[in-house]
């Protein structure tokens, strides 16, 4: 019951939040909401132990697919968004065949290469991807009315509520997956894939499953982005964006579900309030790099470890990132 009350209180804050913000802050809030989904999906991917550098490009696949499906085929935008997510998941499934022949460092590099190839295809094929200029005038969400609230997507606040609902449901689904036997198996594959396989776990299939699911949610975040900003191009999903995702994830920590989300929220607030106000906006990549290094050095278990320290004992989920024993 206390849990439910906390959740309701938290929900109320999230609903009230935009009313306390300026127009431009509301816009940032929309991006933040979308990025929370992106970074949470990235954690799902890392659950089985592999880190990808192609995740932002997969997000882009969802964005491009949803934009094109609505623009070219006139598909209703929310349906196009779902199809965008499905497309991202399917592309990830296809990529999993070459990628999961590799592990660790090679997987990292392989995923980066795969992402760059996709970006190259976007640049190269003007039809349908629009080349380097990308896609403009992407259909906005059509306005609708749910009785208690009329969505007017010209307003960031409406899009925020819409994104909040989509992201909220997505996080809930990811949370349920992680707490299920499937999620336990993901952890097992991560920590000791040999023992998992000796227990009958099809390790490759589980790695693929995590990758495909994570990519689907990343694709959904991309679709949310595309229909909000209305224009996307290959550089919207470049390696700089990927570095941001990595930074949020590492600064937040990956041992808990909320770690990367915390990293994303805290760094975004830092970025928008401190950097932008102080006029350091141009130096964002540099400062992010610095934060990344400092946090690896001085807070290797992430922001989440501070929260866990505060609630010490409660909700503890093992955080020892120690290497598992090597094959004899």
Q: How many CA atoms lie within 13 A of 289 on its CB side?
A: 5
Q: Is 24 in the site for another protein (CB under 8 A)?
A: no
Residue 203 or 275 with smaller CB distance to another protein: 203
* Of 74, 147, 200, 309, the one binding another protein by CB under 8 A: 200
Q: Which of residues 139-178 bind another protein (CB under 8 A)?
A: 173, 176-177
- Sign of the C-alpha dihedral computed for residues 170, 171, 173 and 178 taken in this order: positive
Contact 247, 285 (CB under 8 A): no
Q: Is 197 in the site for another protein (CB under 8 A)?
A: yes
Contact 47, 210 (CB under 8 A): yes
CA distance 319 to 285: 28
Residue among 229, 93, 216 at smallest CA distance from 166 = 216
Q: How many residues bind another protein (CB under 8 A)?
A: 29
Q: Is 305 in the site for another protein (CB under 8 A)?
A: no
* Of 8, 94, 150, 195, the one binding another protein by CB under 8 A: 195
Q: Is 188 in the site for another protein (CB under 8 A)?
A: yes
Residue 26 or 215 with smaller CB distance to another protein: 215
Q: Is 198 in the site for another protein (CB under 8 A)?
A: yes
Six token digits for residue 302? 């992430």
Q: Is 191 in the site for another protein (CB under 8 A)?
A: yes
Contact 304, 262 (CB under 8 A): yes
- Sign of the C-alpha dihedral computed for residues 217, 223, 226 and 229 taken in this order: negative
Contact 37, 217 (CB under 8 A): yes
Min dist CB 56 to another protein, Å, is 25
Q: Is 45 in the site for another protein (CB under 8 A)?
A: no
Q: Is 199 in the site for another protein (CB under 8 A)?
A: yes
Min dist CB 9 to another protein, Å, is 25
Contact 226, 138 (CB under 8 A): yes
Q: Is 279 in the site for another protein (CB under 8 A)?
A: no
At residue 92, the 3 state secondary structure works out as helix
Residue 200 or 279 with smaller CB distance to another protein: 200
Contact residues toward another protein (CB under 8 A) are: 173, 176-177, 180-182, 184-185, 187-188, 191-192, 194-203, 209, 318, 320, 322, 324-325, 328
């Amino acid at each position: 019951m206390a849990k439910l009350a906390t959740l309701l209180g938290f929900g109320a804050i999230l609903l009230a939040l935009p009313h306390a913000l300026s127009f431009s802050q509301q816009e940032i809030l929309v991006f933040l909401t979308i990025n929370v989904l992106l970074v949470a999906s990235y954690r799902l991917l890392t659950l089985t132990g592999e880190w990808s550098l192609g995740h932002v490009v997969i997000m882009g696949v969802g964005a491009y697919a949803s934009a094109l499906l609505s623009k070219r085929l006139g598909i209703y935008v929310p349906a196009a968004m779902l199809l965008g997510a499905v497309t991202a998941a399917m592309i990830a499934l296809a990529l999993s065949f070459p990628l999961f022949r590799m592990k660790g460092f090679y997987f990292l590099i392989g995923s980066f290469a795969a992402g760059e190839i996709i970006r190259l295809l976007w640049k190269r094929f003007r039809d349908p991807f629009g080349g380097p200029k990308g896609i403009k005038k992407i259909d906005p969400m059509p306005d609708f009315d749910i009785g208690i609230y009329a969505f007017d997507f010209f307003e960031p606040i409406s899009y925020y509520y819409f994104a909040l609902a989509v992201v909220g449901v997505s996080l809930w689904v990811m949370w349920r997956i992680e707490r299920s036997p499937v999620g336990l198996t993901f952890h097992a594959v991560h920590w000791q894939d040999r023992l998992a396989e000796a227990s009958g776990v099809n390790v490759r299939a589980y790695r693929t499953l995590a990758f495909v699911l994570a990519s689907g949610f990343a694709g959904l975040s991309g679709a949310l982005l595309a229909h909000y900003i209305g224009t996307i191009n290959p550089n919207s999903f470049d390696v700089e964006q990927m570095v941001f995702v990595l930074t949020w994830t590492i600064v937040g920590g990956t041992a808990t579900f909320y770690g990367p989300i915390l990293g994303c929220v805290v760094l975004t607030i830092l970025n928008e309030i401190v950097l932008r106000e102080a006029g350091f906006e141009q130096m964002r990549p540099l400062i992010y790099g610095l934060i990344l290094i400092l946090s690896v050095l001085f807070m290797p278990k992430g922001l989440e470890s501070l929260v866990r320290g505060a609630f010490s004992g409660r909700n503890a989920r093992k955080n020892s990132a120690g290497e598992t024993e090597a094959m004899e």
